Structure 1
Amino acid sequence: MSAPPRHLVLWLPDWPVRAALGAPPGDEPVAVIQANAVIACSASARAQGVRRGQRRRQAQTRSPGLRILPADPLQEQRMFLPVLRLLEELVPGVQPLRPGLVALRARGAARFYGGEEQAARHLIEALEAHAHPGTRAGVADGLFTAEQAARMAEPVHVVEQGDARGFLAPLPVQVLGDEQITTLLTKLGVRTLADFAALQVGDVRDRLGERGVRLHDLAVGSDSRPLQPQAPEPQLAREIVFDGPLAQAEQVAFAVRQTADAVTAGLAELSQVCTEVRIDLTDDDGGVSSRVWMHPTSFEASDLVDRVRWQLEWMAGALADTERVGAGILEVRITPTRVDDSAHHQPGLFGQGPEQRLHHAVSRVQALLGHRGVITPQVTGGRRLAERQLLQPWGDKTPHERSTALPWPGSLPAPLPSEVFTPPVPTRVTSADGSAPSVDERGALSAPPARIEDVPVLSWAGPWPLRERAWDAVQARTAQRFQIVDESQRAWLVLWEDGSWWAEGRYR
């Protein structure tokens, strides 16, 4: 197998912290939190024992003065664009891997700057001159090895050609990034990349499949991923500043039409369309209302004007009970945050298909009725059935706080009931002697259920505990779930909670 091409990776440590602060972190301990867990922290926070993956409360225990900031992926990307533009001016073919991490082919840079290490140091010095200190660089065979070298650099680490396997050998298998497979490998006693690389490829494929083989290739230093250089997107945002504050939504919507036209025209010049946009409204008190809007297909200028109007209405409702209710709008900024090739959104040769016509019809109805005039059902994360149902306005972005990708211990596995009671309704469950069975603190059932809603029970299963917010004495909730099938072949999902029986859903 031929050796992977040489790559140079630049890593700006703690980029989520830098983006959240708007500047490199100083001596203040800072942590960025997402889903109540630390995803990044400053060096001073690490010195006090804060680590990635810790729960928020555990991190605050380690560092009582810890400053907590929410994660903002859009802000991280926006702050990283100037870094990409700077690097593109110095060396071609820069590929952003994620905010704070970029890669490029080492060969061209080495030829221009007189060597791999010289090229890496020149790029680091350029970033430091533009207020990005602490950048590290790694050069090695393949992207994976170069990234690991960058994380160990002080500030540059060059792995000689052909030495990738020896360099990776002592690293823990967790650096592969696949939690499921690395957990299994650890249980099997495979704790370092050297242990993993020593396994036969056939054995890895039989046990872990092709995904395991791919990770095995990384462990032996045979990373064959192609580098696809990507220039940073041009500045697509447009803004308008009014001579004086405008208090009426219709005034702002009328004034922003030319700005919306400029946004779509700028995208059209690049043969692109916008599928996600962020709108920032600045009032005369200095307050900023920022919101991300999505479109099922792509935004036209009239759609952008509608979103500005809806955001103004939402903003007025949010400030109705505050002293800022009379604030006028001084500035509107429209920033496309997700674009697509316009060829993917062109009508067909023989007209638009049913799905496209549906999008246009629903968007038109929404424009007439308002933001929440058309809603669509979506499934979110959660433990209780009622909280997993979400009615979203047409085209809106699903909140990430209740992602279905999170584990949600205690949630009901598939198949889910076809009918969900929101909220759960009281139901009558009785035992053979006519009394209501109960469940004690240890989950023991006092008597088997014999009837539900006065219909004899055919079979039942449970209990399955459902515990929420056990750490909060005020908001803690504990319930026991049961599945019951009655003689009429109706299947129920019921809860024992607060000394009563509740029907949460029903299978049909």
Structure 2
Amino acid sequence: MLVVWCPDWPVTAASAAAAALPQRPVAVVTGTLVVAANALARFEGVRRGMRRREAQGRCPELTVLPDDPDRDARLFEPVAAAVEELAVGVEIVRPGIVAVPARGPAGYFGGEEVAAERIIDQVATRTGAECQVGVADGLFAAVLAARRGLVIAPGATPEFLAPLSIRELHRPAEAQDRAELVDLLRRLGLRTLGAFAEIPERDISARFGADAVQAHRLAAGREERPPARRAPPPELTVTEPLDPPVERVDAAAFVARHLAERLHTVLARHGLACTRLAIHAATPAGEERERVWRCAEPLTPNGIADRVRWQLDGWLRDTRLSAGITKLTLTPVEVIEGTTLQLDLWRGEGRAEADERAARAMVHVQGLLGPESVVTPVLGGGRTPAERVHHVPWGDERVPAATPNAPWPGRVPPPTPATVPPVPLPATLTDPGGRPVSVTARAELTAPPAHLSWNGRRRPVVAWSTPWPADERWWTEPIHRTRLQLVVAESEKDSQTALLLTLTGEKWTVEGMYD
């Protein structure tokens, strides 16, 4: 595969749309998190995944621009068209990366290095965008080679991948979120792709899940998908005549959603899912446009609709089109078995109608009772189970109130209590003599607990953990708390309840109940 990579494309697209000066540090932010930064910003310490306030603290002159996937895809269309002038079979992996089989351009231009140079010059001449080209066996290795500007000889991909960091498996921009797997592998001592690839695949399959097996194949330099793929039946293609012709982006978005649902329903009926999608458009003047989108994960209805909308947005802004689009066709170029997917509860035929009815009902309730009347829980960071749950009004972006990956000293260890009362319940913990049990300055219980009284009942204590202290809000009014896990016996035979207790001052409260 030959991959063309435009570095920091979200920043490039955002800067072009906002006419920001390229010589200034620029970062693209979604919500409160940085999703991309240019070289000047990274030199000042700005990193992807950093909170916006921290990034501005490290670089006060940082220019912050909003994230917009539609804008990124629309402005990337000229780059894909420029590559397509020299190489056939162009596939957009995501805005900023296009891939093409290397054999064609290499044979035509007399070598992979020459083809790479010609494509770089072509993109710079046609669009003014900077890019790098990489060639390797497989898309994963080719993307890594493009980021380094390398051409890897056939068969040498495993040697190229072996010394690279295991963190390369985590690709959130390409919907490959493997942060937990990478963290686990690093803690196991597997710091490079080569070390991970040396483990037999059967051991990976026995210890980890299917995604780890997929990552193991990537680390070993093999293809992301099996080489034998099902040929899509011709009846899977969906076509929509457009009368009147579509000339506006908002109308294109409506058409994209309708066609995406139709295609997904047809694929689901055959037990298939699409991994490469061809979008074809025609105008009354006989003009035709076609683009292939490639995705590492099977496309959902929303994923199909997004790519169709992005592509139509780019085409409709093309001044070379003499009229609007009168016919739109979606063709699944590559499909996989639907049984290989882990579908969610609502996936399948009729999902769009159910989602739309539910969304309308929730919006109606918000109109009657206010935005805060319908909320969605979002899990974030915090020391207690109650602190970790943040309620976001329906329709708002589901962003956690606090960073989940922060250290959070003194936080409650897993597992998390299954039941968390809205307000901690007052409790009394006593020793065998009926005296109150407290905690010393060295975080030790003053006496073995014997009984716990809470919720109007007195229960005997069966077991307890070692208390752990936590100093909270030290920057304003310090609060010293000590938490304790214990098990109490219920009145029913052999019935027990595990609880999470907190001591604030001299008062115990129940913060959670475990299953």
TM-score, normalized by the shorter chain, greater than 0.5: yes
Q: TM-score range by the shorter chain?
A: 0.5 to 0.7
- 2:504 corresponds to which residue? 497
Deviations 1:175-232 (A, max 9, x none): 233555555655666544444445555555555565555444333322243799xxxx
1:170 matches 2:178: no
| C-alpha spacing 1:483/1:67, structure 2 compared with 1 (3 Å) | same
Q: Is the contact between residue 90 and residue 100 of structure 2 (CA under 8 Å) also seen in structure 1?
A: yes
- 1:452 corresponds to which residue? 453
Aligned residue for 1:102, secondary structure, equals strand
| C-alpha spacing 1:134/1:96, structure 2 compared with 1 (3 Å) | same
Give the distance between the partners of 1:493 and 1:80, measured in 2 at CA.
49
Shift of 1:10: 1.9
Give the distance between the partners of 1:115 and 1:224, measured in 2 at CA.
25
- 1:160 corresponds to which residue? 153
Shift of 1:139: 1.5
Shift of 1:398: 5.5
| C-alpha spacing 1:200/1:123, structure 2 compared with 1 (3 Å) | same
Shift of 1:142: 0.8
**Aligned residue identity for 1:150:** A
Aligned residue for 1:422, secondary structure, equals coil
Q: Is the contact between residue 380 and residue 403 of structure 1 (CA under 8 Å) also seen in structure 2?
A: no
- 1:67 corresponds to which residue? 62
For this pair of structures, how many residues does the alignment match?
399
Give the distance between the partners of 1:432 and 1:459, measured in 2 at CA.
12
Give the distance between the partners of 2:350 and 2:189, measured in 1 at CA.
56
Deviations 1:436-463 (A, max 9, x none): 4333454322234433247243335235
Deviations 1:227-275 (A, max 9, x none): 99xxxxx999968xxxxxxxxxxxxxxxxxxx8xx577544774659xx
- 2:91 corresponds to which residue? 95
Deviations 1:306-350 (A, max 9, x none): xxxxxxxxxxxxxxxxxxxxxxxxxxxxxxxxxxx9xx99769xx
| C-alpha spacing 1:18/1:236, structure 2 compared with 1 (3 Å) | farther
| C-alpha spacing 1:119/1:392, structure 2 compared with 1 (3 Å) | same
- 1:294 corresponds to which residue? none
Aligned residue for 1:138, secondary structure, equals strand
- 1:416 corresponds to which residue? 417
Give the distance between the partners of 1:391 and 1:192, measured in 2 at CA.
39
Shift of 1:83: 0.7
Aligned residue for 2:476, secondary structure, equals coil
| C-alpha spacing 1:101/1:66, structure 2 compared with 1 (3 Å) | farther
| Structure 2 residue ranges without an equivalent (≥5) | 171-177, 230-241, 263-300, 303-331, 333-346
- 2:476 corresponds to which residue? 474
Give the distance between the partners of 2:142 and 2:478, measured in 1 at CA.
47
| Structure 1 residue ranges without an equivalent (≥5) | 1-6, 229-233, 240-258, 274-296, 299-340
| C-alpha spacing 1:69/1:357, structure 2 compared with 1 (3 Å) | closer
Matches within 5 A, 1:85-484: 85-88=78-81, 90-91=83-84, 93-110=89-106, 116-129=112-125, 133-153=129-149, 157-177=150-170, 178-180=178-180, 182=182, 186=186, 190-201=190-201, 211-225=211-225, 262=251, 266-267=255-256, 270=259, 359=358, 362=361, 365-366=364-365, 369=368, 372=371, 375=374, 378=377, 380-383=379-382, 384-389=384-389, 396-397=395-396, 399-402=398-401, 410-411=411-412, 413-414=414-415, 416-418=417-419, 420-432=420-432, 434-440=434-440, 442-449=442-449, 450-453=451-454, 455-463=458-466, 465=468, 467=470, 473-474=475-476, 478-484=480-486
Identical-pair percentage: 32
State the TM-score, normalized to the length of structure 1. 0.60
Give the distance between the partners of 2:13 and 2:479, measured in 1 at CA.
37
Give the distance between the partners of 2:258 and 2:54, measured in 1 at CA.
51
Aligned residue for 2:68, secondary structure, equals helix
| C-alpha spacing 1:415/1:109, structure 2 compared with 1 (3 Å) | same
Deviations 1:122-179 (A, max 9, x none): 44334434665432111121111111111111xxx32222222233333233323355
